[in-house]
Amino acid sequence: MNFYCIIYKPFNVLSQFTSQEGKQTLKDFFDVPPDVYPVGRLDYDSEGLLILTNDKTINNKLLNPDHEHIREYWVQLDGAVTAEAIHQLQNGVTISIDGKKHHTKKCGASIFKTAPAVPERNPPIRYRANIPVSWIKIKLTEGKNRQVRKMTAAVGFPTLRLIRYSIEKCTIEGLQPGDMRMLTQNELHHLIRK
């Protein structure tokens, strides 16, 4: 029987159900059948949307680069981000992937006028009174290793906090870290259909 759900992966949790390193994994938060796995991954120090399923067709649909599904990230940056930096992100920047130069595809990037309503992070971001922070939204159709962090660093604004908010129309709206929402096959297919 096929299983479909979305979860809000907490910060400092591996995107897998086993760990050889003693780090927290999805198993510490979510009770799912043993044949269920995350589609794709989020880095240990990133948080937000993951889809869990045992339906291998979903894996191919979302991870095949030819399908170019839009993934939206909410990113807290170190410093007051500039319009020039946003313009550079939109047009693509050169980052290093496995020691090779990669120019990222054009993407959607914009500044939040006010900080988005997001759950408190545990542990919280280190507060520094004299250094401003900014929140931006980035929409990508590619998913290279640590791409968002590398992109923001390339334009001079290191990432402090990274949350994947959505994949196509599938979002973490209303979820808190560690929450899970069950879906039917039709619901998930509708949310991720291009």
Catalytic residue numbers, as ranges: 43
Q: Would you say 55 and 32 are in contact if contact means Cβ atoms under 8 Å apart?
A: no
Residue 141 CA to residue 108 CA, distance in Å, equals 10
Q: Which secondary-structure segment (H or E) carries 149?
A: helix 147-154
How far is 27 from 184, CA to CA, in rounded Å?
A: 22
Question: Which residue spans within the chain are E strands per DSSP?
Answer: 4-9, 37-39, 47-53, 71-78, 94-97, 100-103, 108-111, 133-140, 159-167, 170-171, 180-182
At how many degrees (to 10) do helices 83-91 and 147-154 cross?
Answer: 130
